[in-house]
Structure 1
Amino acid sequence: MEESQETNVSLKLLIDTESHRVLFAEADKNFIDFLFHILALPVGTFIALLTKQGMVGCLGNIYESIENLNITYLQPNLNKETLLKPKVHISGGGIGIPLLLPNVESSSTSSKKWYRCSRTYNSTCYSYVTNDNRAICPSCKNVMNNELNFVHPQSATNAGSSSSEGGYVKGVVTYMVMDDLVVKPMSTISSITLLNRFNVKDVGALEEKVVYLGIDEGVKLLKTSLRSKNVLTDVFLPMLKVEIESVM
């Protein structure tokens, strides 16, 4: 598995070759940020990512119904993109997430355009704002098409912050990710405890493999996490098997 061109996200897997499973993975900040970012995705984004890869259940049918619905049935102030391609709101702590999922856009108040009345010298008109440049000013009845420049509060936060890491977790720590995506700080004691818990008798049967994640692996992780308790095993062992066989 070659290193992804899109990202430097990687995992070091500890594999039990006898039981054919991933015991756990050693991960850095980038992968943990990606996992935690999954919780910020709205349902519409999940469906948009997974429908083409065979989504289980009926939510995909709702998505396709919206796609096929004639726009004449929608409210005049709405469009299909609002539902089919919902944007992810990321708080200040979520900036800098690895782009392992396609077509997932960050959104905030600044992603919308805001307008005021063109008669900005009128203090009464100046108190009204809209996100539709066809709206009529309640005060003077002119069109509100004077676009405003929105200043995101994140700029002020970053200016006074001593850390520019971004993301969700600190980068100075190595993390342990279990096969079922339980995350905890990595330690020698916890590793030994896990080997005992998995009843590993032959340490020689354990093998380390480094895998690199791109968009394909990101989507597979997302999809597999919705139906399996052995996510790392289900996603990476088939890939590694192909890689090993191709070398032989």
Structure 2
Amino acid sequence: MATNTVSLKLLVDSTSQRVLFAESGKYFVDFMFNILSLPVGTVTRLLTKEQMVGSLGNLYDSLENMDDTYIQPTANKDTLLKPIVPENAANLCLYVANDSKSICPSCNNVMNQIATVVNPKKKGSPTDEGGYVKGVITYMITDDLAVRPMSAISCITLLNKFNIKDVGVLEEKTIDIGIDEGVKLLKASLQSRTVLTDAFLEKKAGESDASNSSGVHSIVI
């Protein structure tokens, strides 16, 4: 049985052998944001950036700061940013009352705990694609997992940040993300500030730095 994969394009500085950023659609971004549901969202929110290990802080900030224009209408960012730990309902009584002095007929305790009434779950619209972000947008994911909508200005800013003067050293590498690659990403996101580089540019013993191997192409601008 074939394994479902997601395509991801990496822009690599061949001189330093470092991923500058990745270009992807909604499915990879949804996967990355879903890492916050493991659940590490609460831990990330409570820690300062200085205390954070790896790049989950950037991933958290990216979702928190992403404009609602790019978020699916049926998605709620707080489900990842401020996850609620579910209660064990096995021993809960299923009675409600309007009077806080009422006695529960099941356990004989005062029914004074506040119950939150929620609206029924919205039905997805015909254009709803599921997940968290919209699919008509191309997204940029930096090596340290900052996520933003792709733009020419963002690309130029990043190239200037890494002092890239010669675009001839840039290479494009296309990879398919399956289960094994997803596990590598998860591990690197918890340990590293160069997640994409560590996950996808692992050098094997005796491997030559001369690129142009399968799936790698020089960028011509």
TM-score w.r.t. structure 2 length? 0.56
Deviation track 1:225-248 (CA, whole Å, cap 9, x = no partner) reads: 111000000000127969x7986x
Paired amino acid for 1:202 = D
Which residue in 1 is equivalent to 2:173? 209
Which residue in 1 is equivalent to 2:32? 35
Deviation track 1:158-201 (CA, whole Å, cap 9, x = no partner) reads: 26x34321100011110000000000110011111211111112
Which residue in 2 is equivalent to 1:220? 184
Output aligned runs, 1:1-248, within 5 Å: 5-42=2-39, 93=75, 153-154=120-121, 157-158=122-123, 161-238=125-202
Query: Which sections of structure 1, spanning at least 5 residues, go unmatched?
Result: 44-91, 95-107, 114-125, 129-136, 139-152
Which of structure 1's runs of 4+ aligned residues deviate more than 3 A? 239-242, 244-247
Separation in 2, partners of 1:180, 1:214: 20
Q: Secondary structure at the match of 1:163?
A: coil
Q: Secondary structure at the match of 1:172?
A: coil
Q: Secondary structure at the match of 2:201?
A: helix
RMSD, aligned CA? 3.7
Kept in 2: contact 1:158–1:164 (CA 8 A)? no
Deviation track 1:193-236 (CA, whole Å, cap 9, x = no partner) reads: 21111111221111001111111111111111111000000000
Among the aligned pairs, what percent are the same residue? Answer: 57
CA positional deviation for 1:31: 0.6
Query: Which sections of structure 2, spanning at least 5 residues, go unmatched?
Result: 41-73, 77-85, 97-105, 108-119, 215-221
Q: Secondary structure at the match of 1:166?
A: coil
Q: Which has the higher helix share?
A: 1
Larger radius of gyration: 1
Paired amino acid for 2:31 = F
Q: Secondary structure at the match of 1:233?
A: helix
| Aligned length in residues | 151
